[in-house]
Chain A
Amino acid sequence: MRYSGLKVFTEGLLGNRGWKPVWRDPAPKASYDAVIIGGGGHGLATAYYLAKNHGLTNIAVLEKGYLGSGNIGRNTTIVRANYFLPGNSEFYSHSMKLWEGLEADLNYNVMHSQRGLINLFHSDGQRDAFARRGNAMINQGDDAILLDRDGVRELLPYLDFDNTRFPIYGGLLHPRGGTARHDAVAWGYARAADRRGVDLIQNCEVTGIDIANGRVTGVQTTRGAIRAAKVGMVVAGRSSQVAAMAGLRLPIESHILQAFVTEGLKPVIDHVISFGMGHFYISQSDKGGLVFGGDLDFYASYAARGNLPMVEHVMEAGMTLMPMIGRARVLRSWGGIMDMTPDGSPIIDKTPIDGLFIDAGWNYGGFKAVPASGFCMAHLMATGTSHPVAARFKLNRFATGHILDEEGTGSQHNLH
Chain B
Amino acid sequence: MRLTCPFCGPRDRREFHYYGAADYLNRPGPEAAASAWDDYLHNRDNPAGVTQDLWYHEQGCAAWLKVTRNTVTHEILAVDAVAGGAA
Q: Interface on A for B, CB 8 Å cutoff? A: 238, 240-241, 244, 249-254, 298-303, 307, 309, 342, 398-399, 411-414
Contact = CB atoms under 8 A, between A and B. Distances in A.
A309 B2 CA distance: 11
A244 B48 CA distance: 12
B51 A300 contact: yes
- Interface of B: prevailing SS: mixed
A414 B46 contact: no
B27 interface: no
Contacts of A399: 34-35, 38, 42
A240 B44 contact: yes
Contacts of A413: 20-21, 42, 44
A303 B72 contact: yes
B31 interface: no
Nearest to A251: B42
Interface string B34-59: 11001101111111100101100000
Contacts, number: 79
Nearest to A239: B46
Nearest to A414: B20
Contacts of A250: 43-44, 46
Contacts of A301: 71-72, 74
A252 B72 contact: no
Interface string B1-43: 1000000000011100011110010000000001100110111
A307 B43 CA distance: 27
Given A300-B46, A399-B34, A414 B24 contact: yes
A411 B13 CA distance: 24
B72 A342 contact: no
A307 B13 contact: yes
B2 to A, nearest CB: 10
Given A398-B38, A414-B19, 13 more contacts: A249-B44, A254-B46, A254-B48, A300-B20, A300-B21, A300-B46, A300-B71, A303-B74, A309-B12, A412-B20, A413-B21, A413-B44, A414-B24
A249 B71 contact: no
Contacts of A249: 39, 43-45
B13 A309 contact: yes
B71 A302 contact: yes
Contacts of B13: 299, 307, 309
A395 B35 CA distance: 13
Given A299-B53, A399-B34, A254 B42 contact: no
